[in-house]
Structure 1
Amino acid sequence: MFRTHTKIKRFSLMVMGIGLLSLTLFNAKPGHVAAEAFIVQGSDLVSARAAVLSAGGKVTHELGIIHAVGAELTVAQQEDLRALKSVRLYTNRSVQTAKKKKKDKPSDSDGGEAFGNTSHVTLIAAEKLHAEGITGLGVTLAVLDSGLADSAQIKRGTDGQLRILSQYNAITDEELSVWSAPNDDYGHGTHVQSISLNSEPSSDTGYYRGVAPNARLVAVKAFDENGQGSYADVIRGIDWLLNNKDAYDIRVLNLSFSAPPQSYYWDDPLNQAVMAAWQAGIVVVASAGNTGPDPMTIGVPGNLPYVITVGAMSDNYTPDNPADDKLASFSSAGPTVEGFIKPDLVAPGGHVVALMDDSGLIAQEHPEFHEEKGMYFVMSGTSQSAAVVSGVAALMLQADPGLSPDDVKCRLMASARGARNEDGSPRYSILQQGSGLVDAYGAVNSDITGCANRGLDIASDLSGEEHYAGLVRRDEEGNYYLQEVEGASMLWADSMLWADSMLWADSMVVGDSMLWADSMLWADSMLWADSMLWADSMLWADSMLWADSMLWADSMLWADSMLWADGVSWADSMTEAVSTNVWVPQE
């Protein structure tokens, strides 16, 4: 899986070695040596497994999708494996879905929320498609999250027929019956699934509460009752999905979590699994993360250039008045460390109303956002935004089953509506809003192709032959801009992507009227999804030396704390818990 390219010699030892991702130090019994959790990657699954067993370690996961195994290893066993040239070690990092940062005090707008609200459907014009019979029928959506609740609105379509095809518990490595007992004790997975495919009409509006109310569902549980999981569990879940892709005709995968990047996008094992899913023909939708508003806060796997990365916007509690819509202040922003523009677009992610049982941990910690009957819950985050776009992807694939993942991404971005001021100027940077607010009706009726992932070769990327960089650069004063490309008319070429005029303190002021207009992707005929080949090395230092030869030095420096040299190795210092899609106040 990892063949080094002559242009990337400095990465060869890392690529041919072993990688690890660390989560937990297992408490050893008296007389036993403590073991840690790792991911061990080889040239194939068999060689990785053999290496672990020969060192005396215990294999815990088979991760064929990335030619690796999960393993428990003592310090001595780790040293033995690190001495090999045929495997690579990653510490088995922990990941979490939305978690509680602190007890939020409800604001005036938090209370009195209309639990019949379906604005996440109407803001993107999905109800128009429902009226035309486009409801996601026949399209399978996989959701990898905290499990499945006992909810008829999720388990059955609008006709009352069962539409759950399968359940898989990646934590226990167990495929479950569609009639199995509910296993979402956290609530996050249920909320996400409900946004994408709730089949119940709202008693207030009459519109379906889900974006794709007739899509089929495959539910994968990789997060426990506390919203915590591990890289190994998440990768095993994606591996299972890929192995069962054809059996259940899985077309869309929703990943509503994000972890801070600790390597280049191609060197992260979780990203490698996600890339394999995209390459296999699955449309992958990932949340941007809830750690905004600062630039360069996009998480894993949303930092992958291939996938559809979604940020969050809010209707400001006035769904019928777009003039005061705003970007959510928590929504993570680009660029990625490799210079790619992210997020790709935004979707409703403020005070979204969806199913969540009152017995779940999130509902118990935030009872003020739960309705009295214990069914619907109000929650904000890019997790919710990603679920909206996953539903839209299902609608698109019902209307045109022949679309590739790149086609779906292209049409979503080309049809999105950019946030603009009354004079037509951008309300937010494209590093904050991407191409704009998703438009389900426009995406389904689009016939555009060839505008996404231009210049990228995912097979070469996965094999290690080539890796890629985006077009965003930063000048000596810390302003972000797009590099000129010969023969291309570049949007924002004469102005900054992120300068003083686009600080959140200014752009978040609600007062001046705002409108959702043409996609930011097509303005000034600039296709900013283009990329370039990652050369021998990359230098993104303060001097910003960008010669025609594209010399990139040993490391890539964007900010004082963002430096990864050739020696990045997922070492023991990276064993802290990874906070993904943290709980944020309602917006």
Structure 2
Amino acid sequence: MNTIKNIKSLLIATISVFMIAGCAGQSLSDNAAERSSFIVQGTDLASVKALVTMEGGEITHELGVIRAVAAELTIEQVAVLESTAGIRRIYGNAAVETSGKPDKGNKDNGGDDGSTDEGIAGSAYTEFPSLVDADVLHDQGIDGWGVTIAVLDSGIYSGPGITQDRYGMDRLKAVYDATIDHEYKEGGRGKSAVDFADGFDIDENGHGSHVAGVAASGKLSDAGKYNGIAPAAPLVAVKVFDANGVGSYADVIRGVDWVVANKQNLQIRVLNMSLSAPPRSHYWDDPLNQAVMAAWEAGIVVVASAGNSGPDAQSIGVPGNVPYVITVGAMTDNYTPADGSDDRLATFSAVGPTYEGFVKPEVVAPGGHIVASMEGTDQIAVDHSGFYMGANFFQMSGTSQSTAVVSGIAALILQMQPGLAPDAVKCKIMRGARPALAADGSLAYSVFQQGAGMVNANDSVYDWNYDCANNGLDIAADLAGTAHFGGRANQDANGDYYLMGLDGYLWTDGGVDTNGYLWTDGYLWTDGYLWTDGYLWTDGSIGANGYLWTDGYLWTDGYLWTDGYLWTDGYLWTDSLTESASINTWVEQE
């Protein structure tokens, strides 16, 4: 076992944060008189505002959800505030970009040419609802009715199927533009928020519209199937990115703050966060993670993307590295939705464990060549015109899309059982998932790649177990800073990752094993092995490749690996927390 190492929280003058597959950094000038943007956190919002104002800072954002402000400060002012009583932390604010920030000279980026059997125009039919059995629930009237999904992204397309639900009713309850701190609310008398936006262009980038369409499109195809997971769920759009897919760290936190503040009056139960950033500190020190944890504590199910930085180990991003939230990886049907024999994990899907030892992602969902809503004039569609399918449909791959699938499933669960807490929803989603197994019953992918397995909406809705997630964790203590937690993953002297039992032994289903579940570099993290053969994602008979996605493997006795324990020194296997951020690019279609 590796020597246990301490890692201290990092004060970073530049934080590079990006939506799935995009990044932009902001550097501080050497000129101390030049102002730059910082996030200043204290014990309460009022005192932080007073202290920053007293020092001469210009406050741009009030971030009450984390007791902080964003302010324009000189380096000299930062130095004074760092030593001021009542100031807890200071972070550098930075630019944020969407995954729709591709190479404009590359229309396809080596991906598929966009021609598929999924159709275009009015006949468009997206296969992913059927892959997770959401269509079975739609036939039963389980469609997300009454469960509001907030999509924190680049905005939302104001066309049919998005702003109207499966019944043709206006369902966009509010639009909040966090970049300018302006709110557009539902107008009443059957009119949606977009009718009162005074020319507000809901989504010029396209990423937010695509994600919203995956989660909740109410458009009905010629095949009689809905193009979204929760086609009747009300929607709230929280805009944190501009037409170029660029925003700021403070804007994202302000968006989360607004969602928490409006949870009750807008009945927000699910928050979709299809974004990811490289970890720069422990999960509990990151200001965005703190906002996300506050949302979870407030009763909002937060669904976050694992990120598109796989397949390397420990590539899970922020806020997906928060142990409380549901973190989602991606699989692909390999363009053959009716044939599960060639289904596989997407090569770009980020992999755990987290630096604190938590198994991530919790689940995987369809995220390859997903067809959903986007206007042809949106920036992503212009930059990647080869994937625009006409009639405001666009094909896109990524954990952004798989995250939206799970957000839709969460809405289906909460329609059936509206009294469930986020921990219980997380448990049901994991319990309903089906891990990929080999013919001998071993895992085809490790828990650090697939978590509990591929989601299944029908099984999750009708699973009656509620107490298998986040046991041993205390979110109130975590937010208060009185206790923090670690997971059960560790790394041995050979660099192999494994799961520990309660006493630190290697843990397997049914007992302690001297070998345990060792996930070696040669087996898991290379491209040559995992991505050649497909694995069946059904619960039927084992196919030619010998793999099968089914239920009842590690999960029958509960999710021991989801439990946490008090953090002392913890486990840190690499020094990558101090490395500079790299720019992820547009993900090729899979």
TM-score by length of 1: 0.87
1:129-208 aligned within 5 A: 129-177=137-185, 178=193, 179=195, 180=197, 181-203=200-222, 205-208=223-226
Distance in 2, Cα, partners of 1:213 & 1:533: 41
Match of 2:84 in 1: 84
Q: Would you say 1:502 and 2:502 are equivalent positions?
A: no
Distance in 2, Cα, partners of 1:479 & 1:114: 41
Q: Which amino acid aligns with 2:45?
A: L
Instruction: Quote the offset at 1:371 in angstroms.
Output: 1.3
Match of 2:253 in 1: 235
Match of 1:583 in 2: 586
Counterpart among 464, 476, 479 of residue 447 in structure 1: 464
Counterpart among 556, 566, 588 of residue 533 in structure 1: 566
Counterpart among 517, 542, 555 of residue 522 in structure 1: 555
Instruction: Quote the offset at 1:563 in angstroms.
Output: 5.2
Instruction: Quote the offset at 1:525 in angstroms.
Output: 5.8
Counterpart among 120, 124, 129 of residue 121 in structure 1: 129
> Alignment partner of 2:357: what SS?
coil
Match of 1:112 in 2: 116
1:371-450 aligned within 5 A: 371-373=389-391, 375-450=392-467
Contact kept in structure 2, 1:431 and 1:497, CA below 8 Å = no
CA shift in 2, pair 1:130/1:272, >3 Å: same
Tell me the number of residue pairs that the alignment of Structure 1 and Structure 2 aligns: 543
Distance in 2, Cα, partners of 1:532 & 1:294: 26
Q: Would you say 1:562 and 2:576 are equivalent positions?
A: yes
CA shift in 2, pair 1:49/1:105, >3 Å: closer
Instruction: Quote the offset at 1:32 in angstroms.
Output: 11
Distance in 2, Cα, partners of 1:351 & 1:508: 16
> Alignment partner of 1:160: what SS?
coil
> Alignment partner of 1:211: what SS?
coil
Instruction: Quote the offset at 1:151 in angstroms.
Output: 1.1
1:335-350 aligned within 5 A: 335-350=353-368
Instruction: Quote the offset at 1:495 in angstroms.
Output: 3.4
Runs of 5+ consecutive residues of structure 1 not aligned to the other structure: 1-8, 541-555, 565-572
Instruction: Quote the offset at 1:458 in angstroms.
Output: 0.2
Q: Which amino acid aligns with 1:201?
A: L
Farther-moved stretch of structure 1 (190-199 vs 45-54): 45-54
Q: Which amino acid aligns with 2:528?
A: A
Residues 276-327 of structure 1 deviation map (CA, whole Å, 9 limit, x = unaligned) = 0000000000000000000000000000000000000001111111121100
> Alignment partner of 1:265: what SS?
coil
Match of 1:553 in 2: none
Contact kept in structure 2, 1:201 and 1:207, CA below 8 Å = yes
> Alignment partner of 1:300: what SS?
coil
Q: Which amino acid aligns with 2:168?
A: G
Q: Which amino acid aligns with 1:584?
A: V
> Alignment partner of 1:70: what SS?
strand
CA shift in 2, pair 1:109/1:475, >3 Å: farther
Instruction: Quote the offset at 1:485 in angstroms.
Output: 1.9
Distance in 2, Cα, partners of 1:233 & 1:525: 38
Counterpart among 493, 510, 521 of residue 476 in structure 1: 493
Q: Which amino acid aligns with 1:430?
A: V
Match of 2:3 in 1: none
Residues 251-290 of structure 1 deviation map (CA, whole Å, 9 limit, x = unaligned) = 0000000000000000000000000000000000000000
Runs of 5+ consecutive residues of structure 2 not aligned to the other structure: 1-5, 17-24, 186-192, 535-544
Residues 54-108 of structure 1 deviation map (CA, whole Å, 9 limit, x = unaligned) = 1111000000000000100112222221231321210013222214454344556
Distance in 1, Cα, partners of 2:558 & 2:338: 31
Match of 2:69 in 1: 69
Distance in 2, Cα, partners of 1:521 & 1:230: 41
CA shift in 2, pair 1:424/1:563, >3 Å: same
Distance in 2, Cα, partners of 1:32 & 1:81: 15
Q: Which amino acid aligns with 1:396?
A: I
Contact kept in structure 1, 2:276 and 2:306, CA below 8 Å = yes
Distance in 2, Cα, partners of 1:44 & 1:20: 24
Contact kept in structure 2, 1:125 and 1:440, CA below 8 Å = yes
CA shift in 2, pair 1:526/1:282, >3 Å: closer
Instruction: Quote the offset at 1:513 in angstroms.
Output: 4.2
Q: Which amino acid aligns with 1:80?
A: V
Instruction: Quote the offset at 1:497 in angstroms.
Output: 3.8
CA shift in 2, pair 1:119/1:520, >3 Å: farther
> Alignment partner of 2:129: what SS?
helix
Distance in 2, Cα, partners of 1:25 & 1:479: 37
Contact kept in structure 2, 1:430 and 1:520, CA below 8 Å = no
Distance in 2, Cα, partners of 1:448 & 1:523: 11
> Alignment partner of 1:406: what SS?
helix
Contact kept in structure 2, 1:185 and 1:224, CA below 8 Å = yes
Residues 505-529 of structure 1 deviation map (CA, whole Å, 9 limit, x = unaligned) = 2121126243211155516765221
Distance in 1, Cα, partners of 2:102 & 2:130: 30
Counterpart among 229, 237, 243 of residue 225 in structure 1: 243
Farther-moved stretch of structure 1 (104-113 vs 460-469): 104-113
Instruction: Quote the offset at 1:417 in angstroms.
Output: 0.5
Q: Which amino acid aligns with 2:215?
A: S
What is the aligned-residue identity percentage? 48
Instruction: Quote the offset at 1:579 in angstroms.
Output: 4.8
Q: Which amino acid aligns with 2:549?
A: W
Residues 88-134 of structure 1 deviation map (CA, whole Å, 9 limit, x = unaligned) = 21001322221445434455674335232321100000000000000
Q: Would you say 1:98 and 2:99 are equivalent positions?
A: yes
CA shift in 2, pair 1:244/1:105, >3 Å: closer
